[in-house]
Structure formats: C-alpha cells, structure tokens
Amino acid sequence: MSESTLRIGLVLPDVMGTYGDGGNALVLRQRALMRGIDAEIVQITLDDEVPDSLDVYTLGGAEDYAQRLATRHLTRYPGLQRAAAAGRPVLAICAAIQVLGHWYETSAGERVEGISLFDLTTAPQATRSIGELVTEPAVDGLQAPLSGFENHRGGTTLGSDARPLARVRHGVGNGVGDGTEGVIQGTALGTYMHGPALARNPELADHLLQRAMGVDSLSPLHLPQVERLRKERLAAGRRG
C-alpha cells in the first residue's frame, strides 16, 4: 500500500453512479475494517484531478451523456491510467468498461473515443440485456461462481491484450456471442455485474484487496448473511 491506511478511490460517483455501484467501494472498506485494516474512501468528482497514488480504484455505471463527461475528465486527468500502469487494481462496472476501452458507440450510432486502458471496443446490441447473470471466473485465484444483475445494451469485443473475467453460465455477459463476461488486463478488471458486484461476490472483493495491499492472502471473514445472499442470488440466476 502507498500508506498505512488503505485508500480506496471512488471515481466520478457524481456521473458514474447511476446503478448504486458506489457500494463496491463501501464493501472494500468494510471488509478491510473487519480485519483490523485502516481504510478510507477517497471520492474523486468532476471538480477533482484524478490522483495516481491511491491503492485501488472503483468506477460505476452510467448513461450515454454521463459516459462522455467521464471520458473527458479521465482524458484530461490521466491519474487512473498511470495508477493502472503502476499495477494498482481497478474495478470498472458496466459503462465504465466502455469508457476505459478504445471506443464505444452510443445508441444513436456515434462513436466516442475512450481512454484505452482496456484493449476492447463496444457497439450496441440488437436488444438490451437485462437480468441475473451467473458466470464461472477465468482468473487465477478466483474459484467461486460470480453473480450480478446485468442491464446494458453494449456488446463488448476484447482485443488480443485483454482476456475475459469469466465465462457465462446464465445470462448474456459481453454480448458478442462468444460466452465471455467482463475483462481483465493487468491489474484492472471490468464486469457488467451490478448488485453491487462486490457485495454479491466476496471472493472478488478480497482478490482486489489482496492486490491493493500486495499480500497473497487475507484472514477469512465468516459472514452467514453474505453467504445467504450469494446462495439466493445464484439460485435466482440459474432459474432465470
């Protein structure tokens, strides 16, 4: 970590917070605090430059106009790009995947340049993907199925430098017909799962914490209510 306190960046919650994905930063902080690790959330709004010195970064979903604002801001203040290049973990949810790619196409057919943190492009699908999503992770260190709620029209195609976060078991995922969901490139990862994703997938939350702290493992947390939530949501996804 950069300091004794784990610093969690909540990036542009004023424009990239449509679906409650700011909860992912809350989950990271709480899981750290429950282990006796000091942690704080640093909110980075359109009024702020993006620092490159935080330990982990989270970005949420948004609509077309908010995506444009986010893209302009991250281009003007490239602290996120520098942090990712230095190996700091980044979690991008839904529209944030598109902003962090090479380009995305709006519902009106206009192509908007992204910040190229991910080697991917996104164009609209014929129909919107809405519903429970269940996947099998394709990332070293993750074993438990992942679940979330997808609500997007983007079809995301990964380039050669990116690989999928997971393989779809129920739902749509990246929406390009190859069974992939999300993206991982270096220490940055993205997913179409809302929920918030880290509340529903504690193993993924701890994976990000381990990367942020530079450790191989964390003390386990026994939270029966979280396990009940996981079982209920996984069952709902498999029924869908």
Q: Which residues are catalytic?
A: 94, 194
pLDDT, position 1: 55
How many residues belong to the chain?
Answer: 240
Residue 143, CA atoms < 13 Å, CB-side half-sphere: 1
Q: Please give the DSSP secondary-structure letter assigned to residue 46.
A: T
Let me know: does 163 contact 182? Beta carbons within 8 Å.
no
To the question of pTM greater than 0.85 for the whole model, the response is yes
Buried b (16+ CB within 10 A) or exposed e, 1-40: beeeebbbbbbbbebbbebebbbbbbbbbebbeeeebebe
Does the domain at 6-237 match CATH 3.40.50.2300? Answer given as: no
Chain centroid, CA 123 distance in Å: 19
Is 29 flagged in the annotation as binding? no
Q: What residues of the chain score a pLDDT lower than 70?
A: 1-3, 240
pLDDT, position 2: 47
pLDDT tens readout for residues 119-177: 999 999 999 999 999 999 999 989 999 999 999 999 999 999 999 999 999 999 999 99
- Cα–Cα distance between 33 and 40 in angstroms, integer? 9
What is the dihedral sign for C-alpha 59, 101, 111, 69? positive
Residue spans per domain, the chain: 6-237
